[in-house]
Structure 1
Amino acid sequence: MYISREDFEAWMERVMYRFDKQDKTLDKMSKRRNMLDGELLLDNQDLCQLLHISKRTLQRYRSTGELPFQTVYQKTYYKESDVHTFIRENFNKKRNGRKPTENP
């Protein structure tokens, strides 16, 4: 099956238009961030990926009060500053809990 050059170019213009439209939509989505009082909010998925932990581990941190959170419309969010504090505190716990390495 052969198509004319004009038909091919018309199809390619439509395809490129759709790509451009999709690209603009993705740009808008990536720029839209959840904020509270000018501070970035992270959701469960963001935090699980950032900390390389499971949803259950994240739930345990919430339940024990180790990680403060906000609930907005049944969705859980974490302030960026609270996450930084949590990381700092837990890093120091691990660091201080380690045994000093012995050098031969």
Structure 2
Amino acid sequence: MSYYFIDKKDPRIDVMFQGLEKMEKMLSAIENMPKHIFNGERFLTDEELSNVLRVSRRTLQEYRTFGVIPYYMLQGKSLYKESDIMKILDDAYKRCQEEQRWV
């Protein structure tokens, strides 16, 4: 039985690394692609927004019920306009700064 070692001078290694570099570029391009964009607005799903705000999805449902956050319902799926959420957070931050207290 003979053993054959592949070292860095082997042309197959170069081809493998070229393939890995190409895959890395493709993944980077996919990662930088905007998601859920409509008319220049980015929309967040329940799961994404709950991760951002660090609240449960049930809490988001209560926020929707009580009108705390605006949302759009599309085929039974709740979507939140990112700019609306950022405005709500910014307004709450400004209110806290004015009152010198934290909510």
Q: TM-score range by the shorter chain?
A: 0.5 to 0.7
Question: Identity of counterpart residues, as a percentage?
Answer: 22
Spell out, residue by residue over 1:65-85, the C-alpha distance to the aligned partner (whole angstroms, 9 max, x if none).
110111234332111221023
Identify the residue that residue 57 of structure 2 maps to in structure 1: 55
Identify the residue that residue 65 of structure 1 maps to in structure 2: 67
Q: Tell me the secondary structure at the aligned position of residue 70 of structure 2.
A: coil
* CA distance in structure 2 between the partners assigned to 1:58 and 1:23 by the alignment: 36
Q: TM-score normalised to the size of structure 2?
A: 0.65
Higher helix share: 1
* CA distance in structure 1 between the partners assigned to 2:56 and 2:66 by the alignment: 16
What one-letter code is carried by the residue in structure 1 that aligns with 2:60? L
* CA distance in structure 2 between the partners assigned to 1:48 and 1:37 by the alignment: 23
Q: Tell me the secondary structure at the aligned position of residue 76 of structure 1.
A: strand
Q: TM-score normalised to the size of structure 1?
A: 0.65
| Equivalent residue for 1:37, pick from 23, 39, 46 | 39
Identify the residue that residue 3 of structure 1 maps to in structure 2: 5
* CA distance in structure 1 between the partners assigned to 2:71 and 2:64 by the alignment: 7
Q: Which runs of 5+ in 1 are unaligned?
A: 100-104
Q: Tell me the secondary structure at the aligned position of residue 43 of structure 2.
A: strand
Spell out, residue by residue over 1:41-79, the C-alpha distance to the aligned partner (whole angstroms, 9 max, x if none).
122233223222222222211121110111234332111
